[in-house]
Amino acid sequence: MPAAEQAHFGYRAVNIDDKQAMVDSVFHSVARRYDLMNDLMSGGLHRLWKDVLVTALNPPRSDRPFAVIDVAGGTGDVAFRIAAASGAGTAVTVCDINPDMLEVGREREQRRSPERTHPASLAGTVEFVAGNAEALPFPDRSFDACTIAFGIRNVPRIDAALREFYRVLRPGGRFLCLEFSSVDLPGLGALYDFYSFNIIPALGGAVAGDAAAYRYLVESIRRFPRPQAFAEMITAAEFRRVNHRGLTGGVVTLYSAWRL
């Protein structure tokens, strides 16, 4: 099968048109326990990593209009952090292909609404929209910033998604991406692999009822391009000032780029 027609689901080579349905089935299975599992798997570190992303974004704390799209962020975890760090002019749109994840996010937004309407609160708004990262349902130059956290590796055609992120950004807009990466501390790699391939699937089975889903998530991390290779993909999508930095010994990488 030609390379252009195949993708990987974990370590398995699959038809690229089948990968999205397989990924959807994973997140359908784990949606209700997804945020809890993130806490358990990372020991709460995912919260710090997401806070690093929001700090890098540095959304305005005023009523100046500022539109952000958070892709593949269905439960709203990143979006709510951005909104809480923003002024009243910030509007965050969560775009996710998975309806189960979006349902969880919308429920969280409903619980959050009273605090947003409190007179002392300047928190920005959050909207949830169904859409495919490879064909975002928004006009050109709609957003001032685009974020994606731990979602890009699940996209079948990553290059197509990067082009879409570029398309919907206004000139001067910022792209920020968090993704798991390759550990770069001596001695940590073997421990990380043992934890990933033994403990995480067991946790997934016990807490989310689906060990196979979390085995896929671990395998997908190992197949994702190394930081420099992914940075080159971002550059190929016409972004400029592309850079990346490792967090927690390289477990996670934060990528930053601009549409200039």
Looking at residue 4, its pLDDT comes to: 47
Q: What is the mean pLDDT of each run of 10 residues along the chain (260 residues)?
A: 50 60 66 76 89 97 96 93 94 94 90 54 78 97 97 93 98 97 75 79 75 78 91 98 94 96
| pLDDT value at residue 117 | 47
- From 3.60.20.10, 1.10.1070.20, 3.40.50.300, 3.40.50.150, which CATH number describes the 23-258 domain? 3.40.50.150
Say if residues 169 and 199 touch (Cβ distance below 8 Å): no
Predicted local distance difference test score (pLDDT) of residue 54: 97
Q: pLDDT value at position 2?
A: 39
Domain layout of the chain by residue ranges: 23-258
Half-sphere exposure of 6 (CA within 13 A, CB side): 9
Instruction: Identify the pLDDT of residue 7.
Output: 59
Neighbours of 95 (CB within 10 A): 25
pLDDT at residue number 83:
94
Helices within 58-204 (DSSP H only): 77-84, 99-117, 158-168, 188-194, 200-203
pLDDT at 47: 93
Q: Does residue 174 contact residue 68 with C-beta atoms inside 8 Å? A: no
Residue 190 near residue 252 (C-beta atoms within 8 A): no
